[in-house]
Amino acid sequence: MSNHVDWWRGAIIYQIYPRSFYDSNNDGIGDLAGITQKLDYVADLGVDGIWISPFFKSPMKDFGYDISDYRDVDPIFGNNDDFDDLLEKAHSLNLKVIIDLAFSHTSEEHPWFLDETKKDWYVWADAKHDKDNNRVPPNNWVSVFGGSAWEWCEQREKYYFHNFLKEQPDLNFHNLDVQSEIIDICKYWLDRGIDGIRLDVVNFYFHDPLLRDNPPRQSGAKFATQFEKETPYSTQQHIYDKSRPENLDFIAKLRALTDQYSDRVLVGEIGDDHPYKLAQEYTNGKNHLHTCYNPHMMSGTQKTLTEDLVRVPIETFFAQHSEVNNLAESVKESSAWPSWAFSNHDVVRAQSRWYKPYSYNNAFSKMLIALLGCLPGTAFIFQGEELGLPEAKIAFKNIQDPWAKETYPQWQGRDGCRTPMIWDNSIYCGFSQTLPWLPIPKAHHILNIQTQNKEKTSVLNFTKEFIHWRKIKPEIINGNHEFIETSNSNIIDLRRYNSSNETHCIFNLSCVETQYKGQKYAPYAFHIDEFKEP
Ligand code: BGC
C-alpha cells in the first residue's frame, strides 16, 4: 500500500458554470478566457480544484449538455487553445481541473446522428399501433423533461429514444463502436492534461434492448424531484430505461483507461431512486468510478434543513458498503468515496430552498459552507455559494431553460441558479459590459465580490477562512465520522476523527435559538472545535 492519498479524497471542488462566470469578450455570455482571468479569485478561496460545466460545441438547446463535437470548444466559449491556457493557469495555481462530459446522449446536430451509416449508434425503434391503428411509441418510457421519451422521425419512419430533450437523442451503448469512441474522447482530454471527468448522468448510458415497459412506482415511494406533485416521470420505476447492469462493464473500461494516467478522477452523477445502492456498485473496488454524487441533498421540496436530510444519505451510503464502512477504510482500500453538494446548476440554490425564497441570510449561508465542508467525503461548492447568493426570480419573458418552458409557473426551472456572477456593483456587476444572457436580480448586486471582500464578516471572507483552516485538519479531510444521536431534528452533532486528532462539529440548523447539551445556539449558529470565525 502506498502512502499517497488521492488529491480528490476530501477535496473541495468549485463548480463553474461557464456561461455565467465571466464574460471576457463582452457578448453577454461567459467564456473560457473569462474563467482564466478569474482563476486567482478561485484559488484564493482555497479550493482544490474546479469542475467546469460543458463548454464543447453545441447548439445549446440544453446549454451545452447537448454536445455536437466532443473534441472542440464551442466558439461561444472560445477555442481549444483557450482551454489549454485555462489548464496551464489553473495548474500554476495548484488547482485541478475536472471537465464535464455528457455521454448518455448527443445533440441532434452531432454528425453521428445525421449519418445514415451510424443508425445503430442511437436507439431507434418501430412504431406500435393502438386499437384505432394510430401510431404510438414503442413503450411507456417518458423523458425527464416531460412527455414521451420517443420522438417520431418522418424521414426514417422510426422513433428514436431521448431521456431528456428531443434534441438530445440517446446513444446506443450496446454498440461497441460507440463505446470505443467514448473511450477515445476521454483519452483525448486526458492526454490534454485534465485531472478528472464528471460523467453526466452516468447511470443513463444503457437501456433495455428488449424495450420493456417500466412498471409503475409504488405509491408513497420517495423520489428526488423538484416538484411538489407527481410528474409522469416520477410515476414510473425506471428499471428499463436507466441504471441497467451493463453500465458497470462500461465503467470498468473507463476506469482502466483513467488508471493509465496518474492522479485522475472519475466523478459520476447518479439520478435514481436508489442512489446509494447504485453509488455503492458504481464506486466499489478499484475498477469502477472513484466517486459519485447524487441529487438527494440538492433537490426535494423540503422547506427547512433538518438533521436527517444530511445524516441519512451519509449513513445509507456507508451502510451499503460491505468492505468500507468509514473513510479511513476507504482510503486504505483505495475504494468507494462519497461526494456531497447542496447546490448546483440544476437545482434551486440551497440558500433559498431551505431558508426563504429569494432571500439572503448571512448566518445561514455561513453555516451551509461549514456544514458541507465538515461532512465525510468530497464537497462540491457551486459558484455563488461562497457569496450566499439566493435563487434569482426569473420573469417568464426572460426564461431560457427548456425544462422551465414545460413547468412554469409550477417551477421556474433552472435559470434562477444560473444567473451571472457578481464581481462588483456596476450595472452588469462586472460580469460583462453588455446585457447578460440572464438578468442579474437587484437583490444580488449588494452581495458582489468587491464589497464582500472589504467586509470582515461577509460570507465570502468566512468561506476563505474556513476552507483554509480545513486544509490543516486531516481528520476532516479524510478521517472517520460519527453522527451523535441528538433527538433534535434541528441539531447536527458530528465527530470527525483519526488516530491522532478529533474535531467536534455542532450545527443549529434552525432559525430559532436552540439549547443543546446545556449550551445555547443562536439561529444557524455552529461550533467547530478550534475554528474561529473572522
Ligand atoms: C445535467 C443537466 C442536464 C442533464 C441532461 C444533467 O443531470 O446536470 O444540466 O440537463 O444532465 O444532460
Are 160 and 124 within 8 A, CB to CB?
Answer: yes
Contacts of 312 (CB under 8 A, 6+ apart): none
pLDDT value at position 159?
A: 98
pTM for this prediction = 0.96
Contacts of 65 (CB under 8 A, 6+ apart): 53, 54, 58, 102, 164, 168, 200
Phi, psi torsion values for 350, nearest 5 degrees = -55, -40
Distance 379 CA to ligand 1 centre (A): 19
Q: Provide the terminal-to-terminal Cα distance of the chain, rounded to the nearest Å.
A: 40
Beta strand ranges found along 334-476 (DSSP E): 339-341, 378-382
CA–CA dist 298, 158 (Å, integer): 37
What domains appear along the chain, each with residue ranges and CATH number?
A: 12-104+176-470 (3.20.20.80), 111-161 (3.90.400.10), 480-528 (2.60.40.1180)
Cβ neighbourhood burial of 64 (10 Å; 0-12, 13-18, 19+): buried
Cβ < 6 A, ligand 1 pocket: 62, 65, 102, 164, 200-201, 269, 345-346
CA–CA dist 271, 275 (Å, integer): 7
pLDDT value at position 334?
A: 66
pLDDT value at position 2?
A: 44
pLDDT value at position 325?
A: 54
Alpha carbons within 13 A on the beta-carbon side of 44: 10
Atom of ligand 1 nearest to the CA of 165: 5
Distance 199 CA to ligand 1 centre (A): 10
Q: DSSP 3-state assignment of 258?
A: helix
Locus of grid cell 471576457: 24
Of 399, 364, 523, 390, the C-alpha closest to 446 is: 390
Distance 198 CA to ligand 1 centre (A): 11
Residues of the chain falling short of pLDDT 50: 1-2
pLDDT value at position 274?
A: 80
Contacts of 181 (CB under 8 A, 6+ apart): none
CA distances from 388 to 139, 189, 204, 357, 443 (A): 44, 33, 33, 13, 11
Classify the C-alpha dihedral 487-489-490-495 as positive or negative.
positive
Distance 174 CA to ligand 1 centre (A): 22
What does the buried/exposed string (b/e) look like for 502-530 if buried means 16 or more CB atoms within 10 Å of the residue's CB? ebbbbbbbbbeebebeeeebebbbbebee
As annotated, the active-site residues are 200, 269
Give the residue whose CA is nearest to atom 12 of ligand 1.
65
pLDDT in tens, 202-238: 999 999 999 999 999 876 666 666 666 778 898 999 9
Give the residue whose CA is nearest to atom 3 of ligand 1.
65
